[in-house]
């Protein structure tokens, strides 16, 4: 006897999609969540982060406005207003996600669910039985093991700060570190970005990343590369001192760790259920999201395949369609676009220039290095860079990469072209929309 056809553990993007679709296919579904419905993206990730990006960008927009004839006068920023408005939007979305699950006839179980066997879990003293169990518990920020680590915060706490720190040290070299360094810098905080290696934003085109580094330094962000974290020391005046290898200590008022994310599998009862995990604690799954236990599946960040919300959603959809909809589906992980909401933002899809040379033996690179029209009139000396990577054997565009205003918005449609395996000649045959930044994509030489 089973209580449910499907029990989903974790009400984030992947789990919610799987639960709703499985229910629509006729399954009896319950979803367990120990915190708030919506998961990382809605509650403490993509959504509130993007709203902070919007808020922080007004610093530059207000500065540029005078060149366009707008007399703003003295402008001041109030952190509690932005913080509280963002949290209000998070609460609104949490309510919508909850209502959507209820409308889809998915039973919501608030509490921590722990596996007790291949088809059972316990929550709040209640034993649940399900024909299939889906683990969609996501991941959490990694905190480095060093003396004084307890003095630091992560992206989770950054959204809820009582006040803006005057000086902030951000530890890390990935997209989360880069984005929050840009946000707090624009809001008026003196930011030092510390990375243990000499490479930032691994996986993105090196030339695009180099452009962002130069712009960030010019804006005033203090960048420390090849600077491994040694310890965080509390000072007598209440401040912090971050000791790093090869550099002077960083004196600051707050330290933010952005050193990766760890799958949420600890204490989940995976060992009792016989579910295999890898060295990083991620649930090992096959192409159909099935774990080592036939009745237990996993999607999203907990599998540590591609830690992106849209990927988790597609995995949840594929799982539900395959297992309950009679429509076997697998996620295609080729040519997944991604973006960094830095200042300015960058985005990319497909092979980078270096990877194209490695995988194809050779590559043609078409690029445009230009100053956006708005920046020209604003007197802002920031240049955009667009690149198309082309396979010389068949003229196929195998990669697109860019940095500049609205780059993620523009890259999305370029990603469709890369996914469709269009050729450079087909890009060239498209008439440009003038004057736009996006027209550079069909004019590249």
pLDDT in tens, 102-135: 999 999 999 999 999 999 999 988 999 999 999 9
Residue 405 lies in a domain: yes
CATH of the domain at 239: 3.50.50.60
Non-local CB neighbours of 374 within 8 Å, separated by 6+ positions: 64, 380, 405
Separation of alpha carbons 369 and 352, rounded Å: 17
**Average pLDDT, stretch 90-102?**
96
Are both 430 and 361 inside the same structural domain?
Answer: yes
Are both 106 and 231 inside the same structural domain?
Answer: no
Separation of alpha carbons 47 and 68, rounded Å: 30
Residue 185 lies in a domain: yes
CB distance 259 to 142 below 8 Å: yes
Give the relative orientation of helices 309-324 and 13-24 as an angle to the nearest 10 degrees: 30
Assess whether 140 carries a catalytic annotation: no
Are both 269 and 248 inside the same structural domain?
Answer: no
Are both 267 and 251 inside the same structural domain?
Answer: no
Residue 33 lies in a domain: yes
pLDDT at residue 38 greater than cutoff 70:
yes
**Average pLDDT, stretch 303-328?**
97
CB distance 421 to 353 below 8 Å: no
Are both 85 and 72 inside the same structural domain?
Answer: yes
Are both 125 and 216 inside the same structural domain?
Answer: no
Are both 250 and 268 inside the same structural domain?
Answer: no
Domain C-terminal end among 301, 324, 347: 324
Residue 330 lies in a domain: no
Task: List C-alpha distances in Å: 362 to 207, 359, 391.
Answer: 17, 8, 7
Domain C-terminal end among 213, 236, 259: 259
Given the residues 142, 247, 343, 434, the one annotated as active site? 434
Of the candidates 121, 99, 100, which has an alpha carbon nearest to the alpha carbon of residue 112?
Answer: 121
CATH of the domain at 397: 3.30.390.30
- Write the DSSP string, 331-387: ---TT--EEE--SS-EEEEE--HHHHHHHHS--EEEEEEE--HHHHHHT----EEEE
pTM score above 0.85: yes
Task: List C-alpha distances in Å: 211 to 191, 346, 363, 401.
Answer: 19, 10, 21, 12
pLDDT at residue 1 greater than cutoff 70:
no
Are both 157 and 218 inside the same structural domain?
Answer: yes
DSSP letter at 150 equals G
The model's pLDDT over 239-257, given as tens digits with 9 standing for 90+, comes to 999 999 999 999 999 999 9
**Average pLDDT, stretch 354-377?**
97
Determine whether 248 is exposed, middle or buried from the number of CB atoms within 10 Å of its CB (0-12, 13-18, 19+).
exposed
Domain limits for position 316: 4-141+262-324
Give the number of domains in the chain: 3
Q: What are phi and psi of 33, to 5 degrees?
A: -145, 125
Residue 331 lies in a domain: no
Domain C-terminal end among 208, 234, 259: 259
């Amino acid at each position: 006897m089973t209580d449910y056809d499907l029990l989903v553990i974790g009400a984030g993007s992947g789990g919610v999609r799987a639960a709703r679709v499985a229910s629509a296919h006729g399954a009896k579904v319950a979803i367990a969540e120990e915190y708030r419905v919506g998961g990382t993206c809605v509650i403490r990730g993509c959504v509130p982060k993007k709203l902070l990006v919007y808020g922080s960008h007004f610093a530059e927009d207000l500065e540029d406005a005078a060149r366009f004839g707008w007399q703003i006068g003295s402008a001041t920023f109030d952190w509690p207003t932005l913080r509280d408005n963002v949290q209000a939007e998070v609460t609104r979305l949490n309510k919508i996600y909850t209502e959507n699950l209820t409308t889809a006839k998915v039973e919501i179980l608030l509490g921590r669910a722990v596996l007790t066997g291949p088809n059972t879990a316990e929550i709040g003293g209640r034993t649940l039985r399900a024909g299939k169990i889906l683990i969609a518990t996501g991941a959490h920020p990694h905190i480095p093991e060093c003396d004084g680590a307890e003095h630091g915060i992560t992206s989770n706490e950054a959204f809820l700060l009582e006040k803006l720190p005057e000086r902030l040290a951000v530890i890390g070299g990935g997209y989360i570190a880069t984005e929050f360094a840009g946000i707090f810098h624009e809001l008026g905080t003196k930011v030092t970005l510390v990375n243990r290696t000499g490479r930032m934003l691994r996986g993105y085109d090196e030339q695009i990343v180099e452009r962002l580094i130069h712009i960030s330094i010019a804006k005033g962000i203090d960048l420390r590369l090849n600077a491994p974290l040694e310890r965080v020391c509390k000072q007598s005046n209440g401040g912090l001192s971050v000791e790093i290898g090869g550099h002077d200590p960083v004196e600051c008022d707050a330290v933010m760790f952005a050193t990766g994310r760890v799958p949420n599998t600890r204490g989940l009862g995976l060992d009792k259920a016989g579910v295999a995990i890898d060295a990083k604690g991620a649930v090992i799954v096959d192409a159909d999201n099935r774990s080592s236990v036939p009745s237990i599946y996993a999607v999203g960040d907990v599998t540590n395949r591609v830690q992106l919300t849209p990927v988790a959603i597609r995995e949840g959809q594929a799982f539900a369609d395959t297992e309950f909809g009679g429509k076997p589906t697998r996620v295609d992980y080729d040519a997944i676009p991604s973006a960094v909401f830095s200042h300015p933002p960058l985005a990319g899809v497909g092979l980078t220039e270096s990877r194209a040379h490695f995988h194809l033996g050779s590559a043609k690179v078409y690029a445009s290095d230009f100053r956006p029209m708005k920046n020209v009139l604003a007197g802002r000396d920031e240049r955009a860079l667009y690149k198309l990577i082309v396979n010389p054997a068949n003229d196929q565009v195998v990669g697109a990469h860019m940095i500049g205003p609205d780059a993620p918005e523009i890259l999305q449609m370029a990603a469709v072209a890369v996914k469709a395996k269009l050729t450079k000649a087909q890009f060239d045959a498209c008439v440009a929309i003038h004057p736009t930044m996006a027209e550079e994509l069909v004019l590249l030489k």
